[in-house]
Structure 1
């Protein structure tokens, strides 16, 4: 990580999130700009972008803001040096639970996608049956 600060527009472009969405995540406490410019503009680092990318990846899987907050807190605490062994193992188990939940949600999405593709194929077949010469 290079320690360089970026304004919200660059962060939005890199994360493919809107300015409004980034501000919303700030308002809900999921991400905090690392600094502010002299003019009061939000300034973000690569670590902030990585945090936003975690949020962006959780959103389509239907995780709630509270679950996102908990996962980010868990990851932050796991990265803290000197965490007692028992707490470290509890945090790892919490992370494992999120991984299992994500895998299940992905499996459910695969099923939904297969059904949607089957539906589209059914419609194509109907159209082909009713093509006039």
Structure 2
């Protein structure tokens, strides 16, 4: 079952199902595993990657960073901060780093909004000709 785009059952899924659910390619998921950005939670007896709802949620977070132009390294850093805060919620250094990342995301979003406004203006000019 899915709830708001997230997997809600406890059944692990293989890479193809995760790719389909998130709109990312199997190749991308394998690459993320190779570089340590998103490792599967387990492997089947046959060696197939197995992913959980938490893995899907983590992958969707990564996917949402892509349009903002974050590098794979920056995505990894955010995940380290999120993981660190989950383990030590009161860590002020990690909380400050998360606030910096959040501020940067707002700046990047505003840049995209300005680009979209310019694109809309361009389309309007083309349509008026």
- Fold equivalence (TM over 0.5): yes
* Aligned twin of 1:16: 23
Q: Distance in 1 between the 2:37 and 2:74 partners? A: 10
Q: Which residue of 1 aligns with 2:109?
A: 106
**Which residue does 2:128 correspond to in 1?**
125
Q: Distance in 2 between matches of 1:14 and 1:115?
A: 32
Which one of the candidate residues 22, 33, 38 is aligned to 1:26?
A: 33
Distance in 2, matches of 1:118 and 1:84, equals: 45
Give structure 2 stretches of 5+ with no counterpart: 1-7
1:45-89 CA distances to partner (integer Å, 9 max, x unpaired)? 011111111110011100111111110001001001xx384xx11
TM-score, structure 2 normalization: 0.90
Q: Does 1:63 align with 2:70?
A: yes
Aligned residue for 2:3?
A: none
Q: 1:78-89 to 2 correspondence within 5 Å?
A: 78-80=85-87, 83=88, 85=90, 88-89=91-92
Following the alignment from structure 1 to structure 2, what is the Cα–Cα distance between the partners of residues 3 and 91?
30
Partners of 2:32 and 2:67 lie apart in 1 by 15
Pair member with larger Rg? 1
Distance 1:37 1:23 in 2: 16
- Using a 3 Å threshold, how does the CA distance of structure 1 residues 68 and 84 change in structure 2: closer, same or farther? closer
Relative to the length of structure 1, the TM-score reads: 0.87
**C-alpha distance in 2 between matches for 1:74 and 1:108:** 24
Alignment of 1:38 onto 2:50: no
Taking structure 1 as reference, are residues 4 and 125 closer, same or farther at Cα in structure 2, changes over 3 Å only?
same
The answer for unaligned runs of 5 or more in structure 1 is 127-133
**How many residue pairs get matched?**
122
RMSD, aligned CA: 1.3
